[in-house]
Structure 1
């Protein structure tokens, strides 16, 4: 597969680069419109429907308005880094799509070439390395703003990226073991008969959770949580610089969705194995339709999560990454490596292998999500002082074992009970003055 690349003339390479750029920009405009329409539908609203057919030009109008707004730079900001940070965030988002295969080899203006800009033996590692550079734009943007809230948002992003990048990388190891390659085109070719999302479902599930945390999307959008950080790392940004951060977020959504499609859902292969019924399903430009259909499915899942789930607490979010996903990934890698080695040697029949695999997966999931018992301890300790533990009581109890928060007085809140005391003390003071 790799011998197909590196032979295109310069004009074909230039056209491919231009097409990738235009497709990503148009896909971003569509995804913004689609997110607003889907969330509006979930909330029984209409959403954008005025500008253009079905409101499709609303995103373009918002982008033009945002670019023409006043550009403000805080006095305390490091001006050079403040201006470079959005560029550092958005450029890697475009570069990562250079190794994503959109389709097979086609006739491109009279020249036979694969529908992929380039490929390399370590293409997946290239995607993860370039994607990790984009986090520097967020961290530097938060630091250079001269604002405490922005700095905290940038630090949260760096911690979040480290936590979920590890889980994401470990989830991909099983794919490398089955495909025998890190090249994206060869991984797609290895899924001609059966998609890796089916035979490696735990890896697929871990990757899907990690990619939501990697892109700072709800319910994992803690670096820009308005409840405690005003707006997060981009609080001080406006106009075109804020638009670049916005563009980087949506392109990163498309990137992780395209990578999930490539590694787990057969890439540009026809869904539901239509190629076995229709011989032309993998010919010409039809595979591009299958590829973008799968990508838009993942984008819909992003939108669905945003419209359905509340934002997680930060300690819960970090515990999910370090205490759940990473141990699960390590155990799954050992299991897949063992099964793969036995399967290649032909030592165990396939039926027994699949049965043992199912039992081990079930046991792993039960052990991973078994409640820790802290909630029960909190209720027991709170019950000793006269009532069940509320959310705040439980957090206090977990933080300081043996020192539960006392229950509220039966007569009402403390603030209401304190008013007569203040009044009485004021009256006594006035009488003493007389």
Structure 2
């Protein structure tokens, strides 16, 4: 095999593995959420389909595929059909720049454990997270329903607000690692994870990605008690399923990014790097599920107040303090390549 053929084969293998793992994890994250919430609420949860209810995700998929694919008569059909894809695809693409393990040697060459090692990987993530906003906005507007429109407007305002604090919380990470590449950011955390140096940035990022996932206490765009189901009220069948799958893929991807930026990525003792990365990412997924079973929903004014008047000023202050600290102490954290 020529060098280019080997490169293409390795690229296709990594891409196929990521697609399979992410989609499988998203399906079973729904199952895990239902079981954990059932445990919190002292009930059984799914336990009928398959041993211990493990085939429940397959039953849910069959149900969604066989339900009627409904489109409102007055809807903007092209945008109505496009919105679910825009909610799911950016989340999947983001995982292409996340290093999920240490580089390995295959066929005499060093192969990084990520699909694309971009030198602007962090900017790539921020760009895709901005595109995901359009799925919510277009889905709410194209349905031609006042409940969907209200949910879309809420979601648009929320995601834009918390996108700002999320981006600002990552500036100190770039200042410490001196690189936008996610592989370099993980390499810079080989001695000590960045959460030790940047607990404030980690807390701001964690709150912001919870809002980006539209999870309780930030599930204002859906708010089923007020808006039926928010921006996806008029969707049915697998189109509704794509919104649903996109949310859970987003949980996995944002958990992986939090691991990459603050918890040292795949670094860890005794266990294989891929296992460390998986355990840290799944710990974030469990945290999101636990919050859903614990916290109430914020009011909309509280959500906006927290984003603009608390998180954004704190993130800006943290950038100034980090810059002062680095200028005072000099080049403290060497980049391990």
- CA shift in 2, pair 1:122/1:50, >3 Å: same
Q: Is the counterpart of residue 192 in structure 1 residue 190 in structure 2?
A: yes
Q: Distance in 2 between matches of 1:81 and 1:109?
A: 46
2:302 alignment counterpart:
316
Q: Is the 8 A contact 2:204 2:311 kept in 1?
A: yes
Structure 1 residues 192 and 7, CA, compared in 2 at 3 Å: closer, same or farther?
Answer: farther
For 1:80-159, list aligned pairs within 5 A.
80-108=78-106, 112-159=110-157
Give the aligned partner of residue 218 of structure 2: 220
Structure 1 length-normalised TM: 0.74
Q: Which residue is 2:327 aligned to? A: 341
**Using the alignment, how far apart are the partners of 1:61 and 1:15 within structure 2?**
28
- Alignment correspondent of 1:418: none
Q: Taking structure 1 as reference, are residues 345 and 136 closer, same or farther at Cα in structure 2, changes over 3 Å only? A: closer
Alignment match of 2:166 (pick from 165, 168, 172): 168
- Looking at structure 2, the residues matched to 51 and 109 of structure 1 have their Cα atoms a distance apart, in angstroms, of 44
Counterpart CA distance in 2 for 1:48 and 1:95 is 31
Structure 1 residue ranges, 4+ long, deviating more than 3 angstroms after superposition: 107-112
Task: Tell me, in whole angstroms, the C-alpha distance in 2 between the residues paired with 1:106 and 1:48.
Answer: 40
Q: Which has the higher contact order (CA 8 A, sep 6+)?
A: 2
Match of 1:287 among 252, 269, 273: 273
Tell me, which stretches of 5 or more residues in structure 1 are unaligned?
1-5, 347-434
**Match in the other structure for 1:261:** 259
Aligned-residue offset at 1:132: 1.3
Q: CA RMSD in A?
A: 1.6
The reply to whether residue 48 of structure 1 matches residue 46 of structure 2 is yes
Whole-Å Cα distance in 2 between the matches of residues 228 and 258 of structure 1?
A: 32
Distance in 1 of aligned mates of 2:64 and 2:107: 37
Change (3 A) 1:75 1:345: closer
| Structure-2-length-normalised TM-score | 0.94
Q: Give aligned pairs, total.
A: 329
Which structure's CA Rg is the greater one? 1
| Equivalent residue runs for 1:246-395 within 5 Å | 246-270=244-268, 274=269, 278=270, 281=271, 286-344=272-330
Cα distance between partner residues in 1 of 2:14 and 2:282: 21
Q: 1: CA distance between counterparts of 2:207 and 2:331?
A: 33
Distance in 2 (CA, whole Å) between partners of 1:190 and 1:137 is: 34
Alignment gaps of 5+ in structure 2: 333-337
